[in-house]
């Protein structure tokens, strides 16, 4: 159980990437007061948590309603996670990519902070796969959900402390960490694909 929880924590930490969110948060709150930064960090964290909780609770139900086997979603999700990981490793780093989407008219706590920075497509897929009803009991699903909320909590704390953190890591440091996380995520993605094929063919 402990190993499973640690694996869930690492997976969520990788796909949510709280550290990579720090430069994004600093950029979108450059002109905000300290109090406004705290409010934006809180709103972004709560929104991301709500989105991921929605998919934890209803994601599998939605898949069943449209008659998609979970094994198929696991394989597809693993492939998408792998492609997502490749963009983290070889493409633009998370800060560079998400800062390019900022629009001054948008609510920055929702976009790009809550989505897609925290509640990314990879995080949504991980939330569904790690709480599969036929594979995990309610206790395990609840503990996995707590791991997800813990990572969101870490992201909130890092956003609150962002000014101090950014002095030490800078854009380059965040980019390096994002690429390391991408490498870990690629291994998780391949494992999901292999398990999906194994479950589908009953191997």
> pLDDT value at position 182?
78
State the average pLDDT for the chain.
85
Q: Are 80 and 125 in contact (CB under 8 A)?
A: yes
Per-position DSSP letters for 105-130, written without gaps between them: TS-TIIIIIIIIIIS-HHHHHHHHHT
* Model confidence, pTM: 0.77
Q: Which of 54-58, 99-103, 159-163 has the lowest mean pLDDT?
A: 99-103
């Amino acid at each position: 159980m402990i190993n499973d929880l640690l694996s869930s924590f690492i997976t969520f930490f990788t796909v949510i990437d709280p550290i990579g969110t720090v430069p994004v948060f600093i950029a979108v709150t450059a002109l905000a007061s300290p109090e406004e930064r705290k409010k934006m960090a809180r709103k972004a964290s709560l929104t991301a948590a709500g989105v991921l909780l929605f998919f934890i609770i209803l994601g599998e139900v939605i898949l069943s309603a449209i008659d998609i086997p979970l094994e198929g979603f696991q394989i597809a999700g693993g492939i998408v996670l792998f492609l997502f990981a490749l963009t983290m490793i070889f493409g633009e780093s998370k800060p560079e990519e998400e800062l390019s989407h900022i629009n001054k008219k948008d609510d920055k706590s929702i976009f790009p902070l809550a989505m897609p920075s925290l509640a990314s497509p990879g995080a949504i897929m991980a939330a569904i796969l790690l709480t599969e009803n036929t594979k995990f009991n309610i206790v395990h699903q609840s503990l996995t959900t707590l791991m997800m909320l813990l990572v969101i909590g870490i992201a909130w704390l890092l956003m609150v402390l962002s000014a101090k953190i950014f002095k030490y890591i800078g854009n380059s440091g965040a980019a390096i960490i994002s690429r390391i996380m991408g490498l870990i995520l690629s291994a998780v993605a391949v494992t999901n694909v292999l398990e999906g094929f194994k479950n589908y063919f009953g191997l």
